[in-house]
Amino acid sequence: MCTSLIYRDASDRPYLGRTLELSMNLPYQVSFMPRQITMTSKVDTQPALTWTTNHAFIAVTMPEVVPQAGSAIDASILKVVEGVNDAGLTFSVQAYAQAGGPQAALDGDQPALSAADLGAYVLGQYTTVADVKSALASLPVVLERVPILGGLEMPFHYVVHDTTGASLVIEFDHGVRTLYDNPVGVMTNAPPFSWHLTNLNNYTFLSNVDRSKSQFMDYQAVAPGAGIAKAGLPASDTSVDRLIRAAFYAHYAEKQSDPDKAVQMVAHIMNNFDRPRGITIDPPEVGSGHMHFEGQAVEAVPTEFTSWTSITDLTRHQLFLRDSGGMSYVRLDLKNLEDNTEFMSVPMAKLMSPVPDATVVFA
């Protein structure tokens, strides 16, 4: 579940594409957080950590607890899954089941940040990956148990990108936190990110050049069509194979000069990671485990599918979204919102665009 990648256009401007896969639909909210809002993160009995948002941001969010029917959505219960701020800094949450484990003890008077609040903390205050890396170097970040996940310790890792194209992975592995510089700008799930980088060394033979002719003894072999260059790409939807494919597509996709064309290119790239329902299923007697959310039932035979896909233009501060109900994206332009002073949140489903009817052109 979850594939993210950075594509750079002909002017080296970065664009982020990501998918999110689960075995159920969840009530995602798209939320706008204005500047100069005071936010708080409280870990157990530690003193609260409080900060003021210097940057406005827009994000796909989820509540930390199941909201009561009819209750208003409050900013304090919404947690960032994917977002971009007015400096072009992005934050992404991706599943990592191996995150939990023994964590370092804290001094009794030491404020700490809950990992559930990491997205709001990063997007609300920082401009660059270097800023985030510096801030987190001495700040305790704690994996708390999440009520909506049945009490699991936050089973995720995180990636941050900025307008220079720099990328940072924040990963907890069995309770131990590591900050990785990400030279390829791609991310999936387990194993640890360092393992994925090592695994890339096994794919030095990959190229986008079609070798369409070859000689075998006295026989001249000729491929029946283009596309043989992709034959060496791993094919499955495992996190290991997806990372290799993401690196390949991000690196070799044609570099566009126009930002709108670059966004379209990322949309084409992300189509390669779109998973329809039923393509892989996990019968209970042979299947793998799936994340469970309070109040959301997993089907008897789970099938992971792409719940939504996002594209972020880091330079223009635009977020594009589509859900599993369609193939068209809607655009949210943060530059047109960033001076607003009120928190806003809208169900993602309400934003999705219906299929346009072009019949009238022929009428």
96-120, pLDDT tens digit by residue?
Answer: 999 999 888 888 888 999 999 999 9
Relative orientation angle of helices 118-125 and 129-137, to the nearest 10 degrees: 120
Predicted structure pTM score:
0.95
Torsion over CA of 280, 94, 72 and 349, rounded to 10 degrees? -40
Domains of the chain: 3-193+259-353 (3.60.60.10)
Nearest-Å Rg of the Cα atoms of the chain is: 21
* Cα 355-313-189 angle, rounded to 5 deg: 90
Which element (helix H / strand E) includes 270? helix 259-271
- For a pLDDT cut of 90, what percent of the chain falls above it? 80
What average pLDDT does the chain have? 94
282-330, pLDDT tens digit by residue?
Answer: 998 887 778 777 777 787 889 999 999 999 999 999 999 999 999 999 9
> Is the pLDDT confidence value at 68 over 70?
no
According to the model, what pLDDT value does residue 40 have? 95
- For a pLDDT cut of 70, what percent of the chain falls above it? 98
According to the model, what pLDDT value does residue 69 have? 66
Q: How confident is the model at residue 230 (pLDDT cuts 50, 70, 90)?
A: very high
According to the model, what pLDDT value does residue 198 have? 98
Q: How confident is the model at residue 252 (pLDDT cuts 50, 70, 90)?
A: very high
Distance CA 300, CA 303 (A): 9
